[in-house]
Amino acid sequence: MTSDQGEERGVSRRKILECMTWAGTGVLWTVVGGMPRSLGIMGEAAAAGASGLTFLQISDSHVGFDKPANPNALGTLEEAISKINALTVRPSFIIHTGDITHLSKPSEFDDADRIISQARLDVHYVPGEHDVLDEDVKLYRNRYGRGSKGAGWYSFDADGVHFIGLVNVVDLKAGGLGNLGNEQLEWLEDDLNGCAASTPIVVFAHIPLWSVYPTWGWGTEDAARALDYLKRFGSVTVLNGHIHQIMQKVEGNVTFHTAMSTAFPQPAPGAAPSPGPMKVPDDKLRSVLGITDVTFKRGQQRLAIIDQPLQR
Amino acid sequence: MRTISALRIAAALAVMLVGVPRAVAAQPAPAAAAEVEIDQFAFVPQRITVKAGTTVTWINDDDTPHTVASSSKLFKSKALDTKDKFSFTFTTPGTYAYFCSLHPHMTGVVVVEAVTGADATQ
């Protein structure tokens, strides 16, 4: 399986998605020549990692959650970190796409930090709605907001890739979806002005920036404006969480991908009365939780994305 | 428990009208109360009608935290974990829209009606 031919990539991606659906640990992202891809198998990840940037995405750790869908969310987060530490190709850093905690409690943030720091990697966070339960978002920003704007948005560069962390979980409007807001969108436009169209862009935010299922609030009200600013770029990868399951869509130069949770699964859109935590048999839980590994290789169009379950 | 507040109030009034001795009826009526459940990412009932002075209590039956936030910012609960409650007393007639500020597709309405002369004297 080569990773430099679009058709084959498409096939392998589908295979990967199948694996992920049934397996589910995390997503290994590889930026290959501009487009991040999920890598399906460890061998491919190792190959891509040899000459590219590899980073890791974890999401929705919900530390503090103790309901039947997973009475020990801290334990499964710890398993996810062990999985990261056992990767053949060590990622350069981690991005966490929000819902670090379940109830924004200081003790939950402490527990999350204690476990996640065991990966001994830089972690770039964006908040989920569960991390901003205090009115003024102080708990999250005091810990993770250094150098960020507004409710916690920022950008950084790594190996020629421009990363943008966005916040779409504050100031939500009645009847609406996720929300970026005017101030953040203006900042985004300005931030992108400094980038050449050939710069690979990775955008990460908690709630999907594409319309996954608005009936359950799975989308972002003003994402179209953000995507408009991104359309001149040859390679854009959008990484989200929130829906606790893997979904992927490719639209032109933009690849959208959502990661598994490390805490509990949620039902497929419309498959249950509500998007609440989904109880699966105990021996299946670790097959629907996971991490995502991504590798970028210069000269290739897409990033390689591998979703890995805690247990196959 | 999907009690419809209007029925409750009607039942309370019926008791007062029929079965309560005059001496007791002359005392101030107990404060009216109504309940809204938060269940499966929905406010149940989604729309309730109460008399002015009614205290509405929301209870979260989900495994996910929710809030009860007035669209006009008249009231807002803290994040309600499973089985947490939030109450607000509606004193002024009107239509009050609210939503969950964490999951804003969840919306509800409280319609507050004026207490009529008959309500007050009976």
Does residue B72 have a pLDDT over 60? yes
Interface test with B, best of A62, A105, A129 (most B CBs within 10 A): A129
The C-alpha atoms of residue B29 and residue B119 are separated, in whole angstroms, by 10
pTM given for the model = 0.83
Does residue B2 have a pLDDT over 50? no
Q: Is A278 on the interface with B (CB under 8 A)?
A: no
pLDDT at B5: 55
Interface of B with A in 74-93 (CB under 8 A): 78-79, 81-82
Q: Is A208 on the interface with B (CB under 8 A)?
A: no
Which residue of A69, A130, A276 is in closest CB contact with B41? A276
Q: Are the beta carbons of A293 and A44 closer than 8 angstroms? A: no
Q: What is the ipTM of this complex?
A: 0.81
Contact yes or no for A102 and B65 at CB 8 A: yes
* Residue B23's pLDDT band (cuts 50, 70, 90): very low
The C-alpha atoms of residue A267 and residue B23 are separated, in whole angstroms, by 58
Q: Is B104 on the interface with A (CB under 8 A)?
A: yes
Which residue of B40, B81, B82 is in closest CB contact with A274? B40
Contact yes or no for A276 and B63 at CB 8 A: yes
Range scoring the smallest mean pLDDT among A7-21, A171-185, A189-203, B26-40: A7-21
Nearest-CA distance A222 → chain B (Å): 14
| Residues B69-88 as b or e (16 or more Cβ within 10 Å = b) | bbbeeebebebbbeeeebeb
Question: Highest-confidence range of A224-238, A297-311, B22-36, by mean pLDDT?
Answer: A224-238
Q: Are the beta carbons of A14 and A6 closer than 8 angstroms? A: no
Give per-residue pLDDT as tens, A268-284.
999 999 999 999 999 99
Contact yes or no for B105 and A176 at CB 8 A: yes
Q: Is A68 on the interface with B (CB under 8 A)?
A: yes
And the tokens for A139? 């708990």
Contact yes or no for A129 and B98 at CB 8 A: no
- Cis before B45 (ω within 30): yes
Size of interface A-B (CB pairs under 8 A): 56
CATH number for the domain whose boundaries are A6-309: 3.60.21.10
pLDDT at A34: 52
* Residue B30's pLDDT band (cuts 50, 70, 90): low
Helices (H) and strands (E) in chain B, counts: 3, 8
Contact yes or no for A133 and B82 at CB 8 A: no
The C-alpha atoms of residue A120 and residue A94 are separated, in whole angstroms, by 10
Contact yes or no for B99 and A174 at CB 8 A: yes
Identify residue B60 by its one-letter amino acid code.
N
How is chain B split into domains, by residue range?
5-121
Contact yes or no for A216 and B105 at CB 8 A: yes
* Residue A31's pLDDT band (cuts 50, 70, 90): low
Edge-first strand order for the sheet with A161-165 is A154-158, A161-165, A201-204, A236-240, A254-258, A247-251
The superfamily in CATH containing domain B5-121 is Cupredoxins -  blue copper proteins (2.60.40.420)
